[in-house]
């Protein structure tokens, strides 16, 4: 097809699943905004909810693309607890261990996990993309070829029976573990999806999605619980309880729980396929019911009845029932030349830690600013080194995510009944002591925020406190009550339209420190070659007295009008926040620490923060700040 016209853009993304969509959404809100085109094979968003869990980092990134309200109003609800229960065919049995994911002590200002409905999640992300005139998602596009040239990548795709060519400076394959980008292009260049050295897990599980219909006295007049005063919703709650459950049954490990909004009444159940069993046959209803049915059959004695009580099978609508291979794998390299892998195309997880979509989100956040940097027309940056630093960092964070997955997986998959009994007894005894019980309930979050160990190519200054993911807390402007403006410190730090690559954050004790902190930024634009801008700095005052409206009235006018200056919001103020239009679901501030950001960087006045929420440097004063700012270009150019 010689002479075919080639369309030009900056970045080509292959695949509009959660990873591709969030990458496109982040890029669409960045400055400068690269021209991004996403090619998606399907013509519509799938209606099949695959992933159902998103951790607090993922919630933070949804907030970052302007979807905080939609997250809890449309996409899903907090997951509550991860309950680890013994395998007794009873979902109401007390857990021997549980992780409390309803708290917001993980450092992001959010609950630990969201149980979401993936099609809605993808739809909300696409709405963000659609609002930009520099980003587009094209459906019905089948990728058939990738060709690298000296200054870019040419993607050949088929749409409506016709072949098209699209040239970008970079191509990101977010097309999954069986997608074209890795399987048909990068594997020939030495890219391999390798098993984890730490968690060699490979098994087949059956994943079920059910929509539960409510039985009623009219539809099921003989159902015995009506006589005991149960309502239809009460019956649903009894058989499909809230919170997620890891069923630690040595004979048949399983996982189950609600997902999406409560009103959707969606339920996920996953169980392992044993050796010698056929996954497709085990996904058939008769075999599914043999495994799941006992959990939906209650001993009549629970209700004072002589006969067992079964949830009506005709109230279960099967949305999905199919086998999946679960494994822990990661590619040896995530980029070659100008072609990059992201999300499931680069790594896959078993389901035990809810890290599949969340890891893809973190990939996108960490990659987006590097892509934007590499796309600059006059850029002198070595993009291959830039991307090697990216996936070196991401692999370190994957280890943290994998550790949580290993922990949950080992608990759920213990095959020895004796070891399972000892384990259950051990955790049950520890939970008798409140302090120890709380530490256990933190689960993986007890380790704190992620901090990278520096190796060559990673863009931060380890000797100046860089490399850690910065916490965020609830915030407000000096003249406003909680929830009236920016809700989180991230909202102020990374407000749309800012032009600097990195941002400066000043951590201040009182309003009296603002003027001096502003003076400390004099000349930083020149020192950093414009990569950070003094006029875009954010000044965070760690003083909760401004929760009092009278105290806010006494603030000088020049500071109340300066949108760069924000104050932290205490748990007490958050509790009385009632602006439901702006904050649809303020989480209960369990263990919230409004000083978390300041405590994380005790003794530091200035932070230089990357767009992916990691610190480039943490500086005690102006001298260190100027030194760090002067190093930005050198570090990014790997000089």
Q: Given a cut of 60, is residue 545 above it in pLDDT?
A: yes
Q: Which of 527, 526, 507 shows the shortest CA–CA distance to 516? A: 507
As a whole number of angstroms, the distance between CA 40 and CA 159 comes to: 10
CB 459 within 8 A of CB 120: no
Confidence of residue 290 (pLDDT cuts 50, 70, 90): very high
As a whole number of angstroms, the distance between CA 74 and CA 62 comes to: 12
**pLDDT at residue number 20:** 98
The predicted-structure confidence for 293-333, as pLDDT tens digits, reads as follows 999 999 999 999 999 999 999 999 999 999 988 777 889 99
Radius of gyration of the chain (CA): 26
DSSP β-ladder status, 503-508 and 606-609:
antiparallel
Average pLDDT over residues 377-396: 83
Three-state SS string over 520-535 comes to: CCCCHHHHCCCCCCHH
Cβ neighbour number for residue 272 with a 10 Å cutoff: 21
- What pairs with residue 157 in β-bridges? 143, 164
Three-state DSSP class for residue 22? helix
Average pLDDT over residues 200-212: 88
As a whole number of angstroms, the distance between CA 205 and CA 326 comes to: 7
**pLDDT at residue number 444:** 78
Dihedral sign for Cα atoms in the order 69, 260, 239, 232: positive
What value does the mean pLDDT of the chain take? 90
CA separation, residue 626 to residues 197, 522, 531, 621 (Å): 42, 10, 12, 9
As a whole number of angstroms, the distance between CA 215 and CA 230 comes to: 11
CB 606 within 8 A of CB 522: no
The H or E element containing residue 622 is helix 622-636
Three-state DSSP class for residue 54? strand
Return the DSSP state at 171. Answer: E
Confidence of residue 198 (pLDDT cuts 50, 70, 90): low
Query: Where does residue 599 fall: left (phi above 0), alpha (psi -120 to 50 degrees), or beta otherwise?
Result: alpha
Three-state DSSP class for residue 212? strand
The H or E element containing residue 607 is strand 606-609
**pLDDT at residue number 379:** 56
DSSP β-ladder status, 53-55 and 36-39:
unpaired
**pLDDT at residue number 555:** 87
The predicted-structure confidence for 245-289, as pLDDT tens digits, reads as follows 999 988 899 999 999 999 999 999 999 999 999 999 999 999 999
As a whole number of angstroms, the distance between CA 379 and CA 116 comes to: 40
Q: Angle at CA 512, nearest 5°, toward 510 and 516?
A: 110
Q: How many residues can be counted in the chain?
A: 639
Confidence of residue 400 (pLDDT cuts 50, 70, 90): confident
- Quickly list DSSP for 227-269: GGT--HHHHHHHHS-SSEEEEE-SSS-EEEEEES-GGG-EEEE
Which residues have CB under 8 Å from 484's CB, separation 6+? 476, 477, 579, 582
Q: Which domains does the chain have, with CATH numbers?
A: 7-49+117-196+329-405 (3.50.50.60), 76-113+202-327+416-448 (no CATH), 449-637 (3.40.30)
Phi, psi (5° rounding) for residue 155?
-100, 130
Phi, psi (5° rounding) for residue 200?
-85, 75
As a whole number of angstroms, the distance between CA 443 and CA 100 comes to: 8
CB 326 within 8 A of CB 158: no
Q: Which of 430-444, 466-480, 545-559, 582-596 has the lowest mean pLDDT?
A: 582-596
Three-state SS string over 361-421 comes to: HHHHHHHHHHHHHHHCCCCCCCHHHHHHHHHHHHHHHHHHHHHHHHHHHHHHCCCCHHHHH
**pLDDT at residue number 580:** 44
**pLDDT at residue number 520:** 96
For residue 32, cis peptide bond before it (omega within 30 degrees of 0)? yes
Record the tokens describing residue 383, joined without a space. Answer: 């993009």
Return the DSSP state at 600. Answer: H
CB 197 within 8 A of CB 213: no
Q: Which of 81, 403, 102 shows the shortest CA–CA distance to 246? A: 81
For residues 10 and 328, which has the higher predicted lDDT (pLDDT)? Answer: 10
User: Of 15-24, 256-265, 579-588, where does the model show the most confidence?
Assistant: 15-24
CA separation, residue 184 to residues 154, 179, 260, 476 (Å): 15, 8, 35, 50
The predicted-structure confidence for 514-526, as pLDDT tens digits, reads as follows 999 999 999 999 9
As a whole number of angstroms, the distance between CA 623 and CA 23 comes to: 36
Confidence of residue 381 (pLDDT cuts 50, 70, 90): low
What percentage of the chain carries pLDDT values higher than 70? Answer: 94
What percentage of the chain carries pLDDT values higher than 90? Answer: 69
User: Among all chains, which residue has been given the structure tokens 């893809």?
Assistant: 360
Record the tokens describing residue 457, joined without a space. Answer: 């190519």
pTM for this structure?
0.93
As a whole number of angstroms, the distance between CA 361 and CA 347 comes to: 12
Q: Given a cut of 60, is residue 584 above it in pLDDT?
A: no
Q: Give residue 379's Cα distance to chain centre.
A: 31
Q: Given a cut of 60, is residue 502 above it in pLDDT?
A: yes
**pLDDT at residue number 586:** 63
CB 118 within 8 A of CB 126: no
Dihedral sign for Cα atoms in the order 220, 223, 227, 231: negative
Record the tokens describing residue 608, joined without a space. Answer: 């230089």
Record the tokens describing residue 96, joined without a space. Answer: 């021997």
Q: Which of 29, 262, 267, 48 shows the shortest CA–CA distance to 125? A: 29
Q: Given a cut of 70, is residue 430 above it in pLDDT?
A: yes
As a whole number of angstroms, the distance between CA 283 and CA 280 comes to: 5
Per-residue burial over 415-432, b if 16 or more Cβ lie within 10 Å, else e, is eeeeebeebbeebeeebe
Which residues have CB under 8 Å from 459's CB, separation 6+? 386, 389, 610, 616, 635, 636
Q: Given a cut of 80, is residue 131 above it in pLDDT?
A: yes
- Quickly list DSSP for 422-453: HHHHHHHHHTTSHHHHHHHHHGGGGG-S-BPP
316-327: strand order across its sheet: 97-100, 81-86, 244-248, 254-259, 266-272, 202-212, 316-327
């Amino acid at each position: 097809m010689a002479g075919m016209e080639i369309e030009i853009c900056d970045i080509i993304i292959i695949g509009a699943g959660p990873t591709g969509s969030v990458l496109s959404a982040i890029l669409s809100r960045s400055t400068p905004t690269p021209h991004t085109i996403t090619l998606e094979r399907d013509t519509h968003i799938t209606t099949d909810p695959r992933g159902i869990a998103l951790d607090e980092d993922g919630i933070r990134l949804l907030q970052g693309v302007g979807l905080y309200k939609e997250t809890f109003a449309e996409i899903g609800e907090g997951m509550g607890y991860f309950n680890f229960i013994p395998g007794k065919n009873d979902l109401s049995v007390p857990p021997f261990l549980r992780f409390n994911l309803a708290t917001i002590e993980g450092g992001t200002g959010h609950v630990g996990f969201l149980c979401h409905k993936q099609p809605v999640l993808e739809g909300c992300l696409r709405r963000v993309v659609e609002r930009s005139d520099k980003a587009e998602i094209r459906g019905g596009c089948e990728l058939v070829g990738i060709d690298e040239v000296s200054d870019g990548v040419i993607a050949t795709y088929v749409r409506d029976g016709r072949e098209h060519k699209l040239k970008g400076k970079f191509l990101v394959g977010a097309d999954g573990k069986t997608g074209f980008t890795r399987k048909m292009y990068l594997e020939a260049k030495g890219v391999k999806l390798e098993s984890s050295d730490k968690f060699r897990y490979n098994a087949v599980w059956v994943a079920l999605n059910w929509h539960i219909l409510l039985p009623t006295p009219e539809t099921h007049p003989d159902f015995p619980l009506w006589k005991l005063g149960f309502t239809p919703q009460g019956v649903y709650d009894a058989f499909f309880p809230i919170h997620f459950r890891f069923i630690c049954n040595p004979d048949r490990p399983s996982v189950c729980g609600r997902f999406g909004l409560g009103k959707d009444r969606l339920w996920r159940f996953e169980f392992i396929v044993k050796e010698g069993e056929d996954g497709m046959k085990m996904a058939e209803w008769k075999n599914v019911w043999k495994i799941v049915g006992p959990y939906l059959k209650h001993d009549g004695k629970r209700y004072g009845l002589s006969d067992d009580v079964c949830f009506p099978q005709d109230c279960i609508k099967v949305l999905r029932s199919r086998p999946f291979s679960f494994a822990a794998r990661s590619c040896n390299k995530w980029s070659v030349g100008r072609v990059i892998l992201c999300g499931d195309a680069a790594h896959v997880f078993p389901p035990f830690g809810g890290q599949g979509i969340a890891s893809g989100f973190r990939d996108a956040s960490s990659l987006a600013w590097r892509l934007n940097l590499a796309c600059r027309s006059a850029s002198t940056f070595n993009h291959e080194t830039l991307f090697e630093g990216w996936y070196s960092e991401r692999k370190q964070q994957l280890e943290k995510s994998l550790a949580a997955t290993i922990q949950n997986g080992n608990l759920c998959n213990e095959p020895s009944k004796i070891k399972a009994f000892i384990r259950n007894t051990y955790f049950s005894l520890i939970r008798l002591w409140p302090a120890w019980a709380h530490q256990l309930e933190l689960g993986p979050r007890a380790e704190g925020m992620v901090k990278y160990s520096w190796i060559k190519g990673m863009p931060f200054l380890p000797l100046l406190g860089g490399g850690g993911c910065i916490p965020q807390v609830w915030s407000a402007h000096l003249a406003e009550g909680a929830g009236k403006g920016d809700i989180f410190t991230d909202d102020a730090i990374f407000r749309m339209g800012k032009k600097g690559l990195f941002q400066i954050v000043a951590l201040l004790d009182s309003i009296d420190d603002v003027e001096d902190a502003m003076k400390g930024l004099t000349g930083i634009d020149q020192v950093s070659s414009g990569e950070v801008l003094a006029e875009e700095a954010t000044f965070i005052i760690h003083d909760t007295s401004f929760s009092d409206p009278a105290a806010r009235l006494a603030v000088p006018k020049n500071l109340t009008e300066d949108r760069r200056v924000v104050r932290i919001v205490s748990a007490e103020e958050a509790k009385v926040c009632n602006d439901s239009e702006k904050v649809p679901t303020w989480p209960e501030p369990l263990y919230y620490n409004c000083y978390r950001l300041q405590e994380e960087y005790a003794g530091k006045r200035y932070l230089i923060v990357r767009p992916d929420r990691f610190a480039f440097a943490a500086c005690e004063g102006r001298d260190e700040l100027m030194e760090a700012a002067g190093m930005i270009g050198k570090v990014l150019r790997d000089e």
